[in-house]
């Protein structure tokens, strides 16, 4: 039973949404727009479109996150195997990841955490692309899609392989060893997932999990115990597969994308009060 979040706004429907994040007084929405105006910038209060930004020489987006300390956006590009960095004036740089980058997050040291699903690794980069370390995840963690590092150094990781029966959210040691997990065999019960593809963590280390095929967002305790459904399937139209938590304003931004014949065809961002 859904007991919480309510939709307070819906950003405009358009091309698929491959990333959503907040920074300062704005919401940033990433869409594939043929080389120009890929990042839409909305006012965080009125939700009015303010301007657009371009990611030069981008090939295929997979995620976007932001850094309040360095005042920049990071965008992963899995075909170019790189991360694009945009400052708030739209100046762009990029650096190689070597492997295909998937999910992105920023840790307490203001470094970028890049999850590489094909090779089962987490890579930590400085804000300007210096590789600081790599963490190899256990072999049974097939296709890790997103990782967030806690202030303790531990990681929260979701992994999902469409051809694998086990879909979980795990808490990992800083060196990649498993501590706790939630989930298991693919399914739709409260203790199961069918595509846990992105995460968000609040200031008290409660974990939000977007579960794309079950069309919901689940809230877990800091020890990964089930708390409740934050977003239910009747509140989304298609398939939620990206999210961003603005803890200060108590807003959860959920990208809801339509998929036809295996391809994303349209998308929008739902704004929930949590």
In a domain, 44, yes or no: yes
**DSSP per residue, 149-191:** E-TTS-EEEEE--TT-SEEEEEEE-TTS-EEEEEEEES-SSTT
Report the pLDDT averaged over residues 98-125: 97
Report the pLDDT averaged over residues 202-223: 96
In a domain, 178, yes or no: yes
Domain encompassing residue 163: 6-273
pLDDT at 271: 97
Report the pLDDT averaged over residues 70-93: 97
Report the pLDDT averaged over residues 211-231: 96
Encoded tokens for 205: 């280390």
In a domain, 264, yes or no: yes
pLDDT at 139: 86
SS3 label, residue 34: coil
Distance CA 199, CA 57 (A): 28
Distance CA 29, CA 21 (A): 7
pLDDT surpassing 70 at residue 54: yes
In a domain, 155, yes or no: yes
Report the pLDDT averaged over residues 172-196: 91
Q: Could you give the number of structural domains in the chain?
A: 1
Tens of pLDDT, residue by residue over 114-163, are 999 999 999 999 999 999 999 999 988 889 999 999 999 999 999 988 77
Between 30-34, 175-179, 190-194, the lowest mean confidence (pLDDT) is in 175-179
Q: Scanning the structure block, which residue is given the tokens 């990782």?
A: 147
pLDDT at 162: 74
pLDDT at 4: 67
Tens of pLDDT, residue by residue over 191-205, are 999 999 999 999 999
Provide the mean pLDDT of the chain: 94
Residue 163 CB burial class (10 angstroms; 0-12, 13-18, ≥19): exposed
pLDDT surpassing 80 at residue 257: yes
Q: Band of the pLDDT at 179, cuts 50, 70, 90? A: confident
What CATH number is given to the structural domain containing 54? Answer: 2.120.10.30
pLDDT at 146: 98
Distance CA 104, CA 86 (A): 14
Report the pLDDT averaged over residues 82-90: 96
Strands 72-77 and 82-87 turn out to be antiparallel
Q: Band of the pLDDT at 1, cuts 50, 70, 90? A: very low
Q: Band of the pLDDT at 31, cuts 50, 70, 90? A: very high
Contact between 178 and 171 under an 8 Å Cβ cutoff? The reply is: yes
In a domain, 1, yes or no: no
Report the pLDDT averaged over residues 16-22: 98
């Amino acid at each position: 039973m859904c007991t919480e979040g309510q939709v307070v706004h819906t950003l405009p429907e358009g091309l698929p949404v491959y990333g959503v994040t907040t920074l300062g007084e704005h919401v940033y929405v990433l869409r594939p727009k043929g080389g120009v105006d890929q990042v839409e910038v909305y006012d965080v209060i009125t939700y009015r479109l303010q301007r657009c930004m371009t990611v030069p020489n981008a090939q295929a987006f997979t995620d976007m996150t932001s850094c309040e300390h360095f005042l920049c956006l990071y965008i992963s590009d899995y075909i170019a195997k790189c991360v694009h960095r945009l400052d708030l004036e739209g100046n762009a740089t990029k650096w190689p990841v070597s492997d295909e980058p998937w999910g992105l997050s920023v840790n307490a040291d203001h470094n970028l955490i890049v999850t590489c699903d094909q090779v089962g690794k987490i890579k930590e980069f400085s804000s300007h692309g210096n590789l600081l370390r790599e963490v190899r995840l256990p072999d049974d963690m097939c296709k890790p899609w997103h990782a967030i590092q806690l202030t303790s150094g531990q990681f929260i990781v979701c992994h999902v392989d469409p051809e694998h029966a086990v879909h979980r959210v795990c808490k990992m040691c800083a060196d990649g060893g498993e501590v706790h997990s939630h989930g298991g065999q693919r399914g739709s019960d409260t203790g199961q997932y069918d595509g846990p593809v992105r995460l968000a963590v609040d200031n008290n280390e409660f974990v939000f999990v977007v579960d794309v095929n079950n069309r919901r967002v689940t809230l877990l305790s800091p020890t990964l115990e089930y708390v409740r459904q934050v977003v239910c399937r009747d509140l989304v139209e298609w398939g939620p597969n990206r999210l961003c938590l603005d803890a200060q304003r108590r807003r959860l931004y959920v990208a809801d994308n339509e998929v036809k014949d295996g391809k994303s065809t349209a998308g929008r961002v739902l704004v929930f009060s949590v």
